[in-house]
Amino acid sequence: MSMSVRPEPRPGVMKIDAYVPGKSKAAGGSKVYKLSSNETPLGPSPKAIEAVRNADHFELYPDGSATKLREAIAAKYGLDPNRIVCGAGSDELLSYITTAYVGLGDEGIYSEHGFLVYRIAILAAGGTPVVAPEKNYRTDVDAILERVTDKTKIVFLANPNNPTGTYIPFDEVKRLHAGLPSHVVLVLDAAYAEYVRRNDYESGLELVATAENVVMTRTFSKIYGLASLRIGWMVAPAHIVDAVNRIRGPFNMNGPAMAAGIAAVQDEAHVAKAAEHNAQWLDWLTNEIEALGLKVTPSVANFLMINFPEETGKTAKDADEFLSSRGLILRRIDAYGLPHALRLTVGSEEANRLVVEALRDFMNGARNA
Ligand SMILES: *Cc1c(COP(=O)(O)O)cnc(C)c1O
């Protein structure tokens, strides 16, 4: 054996482009507004903060099955706690589910501008990512169904989707499920479900309860404002829960995070306030930004995709630099195949007004601050 031989990762690993989180530093501005990671401007419930402060006995291992947190989630959503698994963020659960069902040579499908964690999870498991084109930045159910082969093991649907902010009505989700072979796992990622205000939207809890191949993932990182604590959960049929629990780290959830999660899920008033703030400012931002000659993709989540049409002669890249010079951090989404757009998270009233003001100056040809 030659001296130069060194360990090689499994095929697929080196095809992964590591996930690049939203920036948290700006080029200028005395105050920085981070609007790049879909975090809530309201922060978490004060009761969740209190629960973390009161946490103690850090020398003891936490409850490895997250019993109390699962019970609190189940009580809120009317679910069976035995059908719930908690994770260090829903990202961890997405990767467990993929590891459980996808192996070398298997295929996993997600949509063209879908959340990039799906691609990473599929490649990491040794599988082949299959991308279904979208129509008008919306998931196209037929395009997904056309790409199903006998190698397909998993289909991911973010509804609403990040970074586009679009959604498909529940009828379409049911049509997707009905068209899939029964051995394919359908993952409904409902990270932004609490924000959606549309009569034809449902996160799909009913489908999870009645089908043998549907999993839903949810998160405390978005409307609950607990991204830093890493709390997610999934609800699934018993046999999928069993498979995921076999590969789950035995103590994947930490004690303070679980305490915070319980307090947060019980504070319905805080969630309602966050949803209300979002509805108001999502509309306002959409109207104000469109009035500047930019195109906003209609969003039902807590962020919006701002398109810079070619005829304006303005680019997303230049806009990003201009906004950054004023302390406003948005998200470039080139990695999602959207180099002509920026993603803006709905922020505080102050931040929202500053973004519109800065975009107006940018469109009027102002130079970087
Ligand atoms: C933010 C986000 C998540 C949540 O990730 P966590 O690991 O729970 O913080 C999941 N899916 C999508 C589409 C997201 O945008």
Domain boundaries, the chain: 13-43+269-363, 46-267
Q: Using CA atoms, how far apart are residues 79 and 74, in angstroms rounded to an integer? A: 4
- At 66 the pLDDT is 98
CA of 363 to the centre of ligand 1 (A): 32
pLDDT of residue 24: 81
Q: Answer yes or no: CATH 3.40.640.10 is held by domain 46-267.
A: yes
pLDDT for res 64: 96
Q: What is the pLDDT of residue 1?
A: 58
Confidence (pLDDT) at 29:
73
Cα of 191 to ligand 1 centre, how many Å? Answer: 6
> 71 C-alpha to center of ligand 1: Å?
22
pLDDT in tens, the chain (369 residues): 566 789 999 888 999 988 888 888 877 778 999 999 999 999 999 999 999 999 999 999 999 999 999 999 999 999 999 999 999 999 999 999 999 999 999 999 999 999 999 999 999 999 999 999 999 999 999 999 999 999 999 999 999 999 999 999 999 999 999 999 999 999 999 999 999 999 999 999 999 999 999 999 999 999 999 999 999 999 999 999 999 999 999 999 999 999 999 999 999 999 999 999 999 999 999 999 999 999 999 999 999 999 999 999 999 999 999 999 999 999 999 999 999 999 999 999 999 999 999 999 999 998 776
280 Cα: distance to centroid of ligand 1 (angstroms): 23
- pLDDT computed for residue 46 by the predictor: 98
- State residue 2's pLDDT score: 60
Here the contacts of 90-93 (C-beta below 8 Å, separation 24 or greater) are: 90/189, 90/191, 90/217, 90/218, 90/219, 90/221, 90/232, 90/233, 90/234, 91/117, 91/232, 92/230, 92/232, 92/252, 93/217, 93/232, 93/233, 93/234, 93/244
Give me the CATH topology for the region 13-43+269-363. Aspartate Aminotransferase, domain 1 (3.90.1150)
* Ligand 1 atom nearest to CA at 231: 8
Q: Give the helix, strand, coil percentages of the chain, each rounded to 5.
A: 40, 15, 45
pTM of the model: 0.96
Residues with C-beta less than 6 Å from any ligand 1 atom: 38, 89-91, 115, 158, 162, 189, 191, 219, 221-222, 227, 232
